[in-house]
Each structure stands twice: as structure tokens, then as C-alpha cells.
A and B are shown apart, each in its own frame.
Chain A
Amino acid sequence: MVIFVLSVATYLLLAWSGGGIDPIEVGIAVALGGVMAGLARAWNPERSWTLAGLNPLRWITFILYLFLPFLWGMIKANFDVAFRVITGKIRPGIVRIDSGLKGSLAQTMLANSITLTPGTLTVDVDDSGETGIFYVHWINVTDENPPEQKVYGSFGKWARRVAE
């Protein structure tokens, strides 16, 4: 359902050109959105038509997340990496973190956030257990068994709030 709404909205935004929208375009958007949602459902092992993803509170939290901690994290990450590019000071390694996140959407969101923020890159996720275990490539290892706070700060909490 989320995918249906998102694809329809994206199509209409791309087709919109300042003025009104042709009813034929709306028809095409709904048809394509239906196809996308059907395909996504066929691939998704959970096979749900849930409306949970349309909860406006989650979307507001998501947008807040995007503009406050995420944007700040990205700015820090870029200056950090830029600094390391210039000085060549690195101490890389792959560390293991138990994220404590159950949902696949929350895990995806956290993995993407980790990749785009300070000195970390998600290499693999082991979701065979109860909660997802992340293997993160860290460019500056200060602790071989780090707590989650140290690697990605408050992102875990945000991912839980938005997607679980």
C-alpha cells in the first residue's frame, strides 16, 4: 500500500508541469502504481497489504529525522572523510554491532543511514537471528567491541521510532 501511494505520487509529480493534471495521467499513474505494488508484494516474503506505512506520525518523524540528526551526521561525515583524504590518517576494521532492530524496513533504514554517515559503511547484515546483527566497516576503529552509541549515535532509536 505504501508502495502504491508512493509510486502514484512520484509519477504525478514527474508528470506535473506547472498547470493542472490530465485525467489520463492520473489513470496511468494508478495503473503503474498497482503494477509496482503487485510486484513488490510478490517479492516481499512478508506479503502484507498493511496500512501501517501510511501513518502520518511516522512520516513526520521520518522527515524530522532526515533534516535534524541525519543531515547533521552527513555534514560531519563529509568533513571527517575529507580530512582523512587529505591527511591519510586511517585505522580501518570491521566491527560487529547488535542493532536490536527486528523489522526489515528499520534494518534497511539503519543500514543506509550508517553508510551515509561518519566513517562507517555497512558490509553485511545477519538477520537469521531474532534481531539484525550489523557488520560495519569503520574507518577509525577506537574500540574493537563498540557499543552501538559509539558507532552510529542515536540513529538506532530513530529507526525504531520511524519504521518499527
Chain B
Amino acid sequence: MSTAVIILLGIGVAFNFLGTVALYRFPDVYTRLHGTTKCTTFGSIFTSAAVVVFALERYFATGEGRFTTLTVHVIIAIFALLISNATGAHAIARSAHRSGVMPKYAVVDRLAEDHRKKGGVSA
């Protein structure tokens, strides 16, 4: 393993760690989602980038086809991760708000105001 791989892995693990700490530090569902979606997506991109760099290094050293396959698969995984992570976070936030979990310490909540105006059930 080269230094580049270790550095990328280090950054990735650091961001994933911060994402986990965010779960403990933040007061409610919405703010926790901020930490977990952003930091873990970013962290996972870095760990995936480490895999890509490692695979390319091995490919240029050995010339074996399986390392290009690894690179392509990891890049597809990054795109899947980007889309599913953001969509998942949105789904959780939306369902939490619909089932009446209100954001704590919020200075303003326009969604609940508009719901009340339309006579929705969400308080």
C-alpha cells in the first residue's frame, strides 16, 4: 500500500467517525440526519477512492484485468451511494415530519405552519 491509499483511508475514516459522533451530539432527528448523511457519504467516497487508487496501482504494477474491474465497480458503487444516501435521508425526514416529530429548538418551522393552514393533521 502506498502513502496515498493510507491518507485517503485516514480522511475517510475520520469523516465517518465525525458522522457517528454527530449522532450523539445533535438534539433531534433532523440535525442528526445532517451529520449522518453528509459525513458518511463524504467519508465513504474517500474510502472508495482509496480502493480505486489501490486498484490502479496494482493494475499498473501487475497488469491484471481484475483490478480494472474493481475500479469500475467501485465507481458505480459511489454513484449508487450518492443517490441512495440523499434519497434515504429525505425519506426519513419527510416521514418523521408527517408522523409528528417536530424539530427541537427550531427557530422557524414553515412546513408545520403550512400544514395547519391547509388543515392537515400534522401539528
Q: Are A93 and B38 in contact (CB under 8 A)?
A: no
Q: Are B39 and A112 in contact (CB under 8 A)?
A: no
Known contacts A81-B22, A82-B39; A112/B107 CB under 8 A: no
**Is chain B's binding surface mostly helix, strand, loop or mixed?**
helix
Q: Give the A-binding residues of B (Cβ under 8 A).
A: 15, 18, 21-22, 25-28, 30-31, 33-35, 37-39, 41-42, 64-66, 68-69, 72-73, 76, 82-83, 85-87, 89-90, 93-94, 97, 103-112, 114
Among B34, B87, B97, B103, point to the contact of A93 (Cβ < 8 A): B103
CB distance from B117 to the nearest CB of A (A): 11
Q: Are B108 and A18 in contact (CB under 8 A)?
A: no
CB distance from A164 to the nearest CB of B (A): 19
Q: Are B72 and A16 in contact (CB under 8 A)?
A: yes
Known contacts A85-B21, A92-B107, A93-B108; A115/B86 CB under 8 A: yes
CB distance from B59 to the nearest CB of A (A): 9
Interface flag for A78 (CB, 8 Å): yes
Known contacts A18-B65, A112-B86, A137-B30; A85/B35 CB under 8 A: yes
CB distance from B29 to the nearest CB of A (A): 10
Known contacts A81-B35, A92-B105, A141-B107; A124/B25 CB under 8 A: no
Complex Cα gap A91–B30 (Å): 12
Contacts of A90 in B (CB 8 A): 26-27, 31, 105
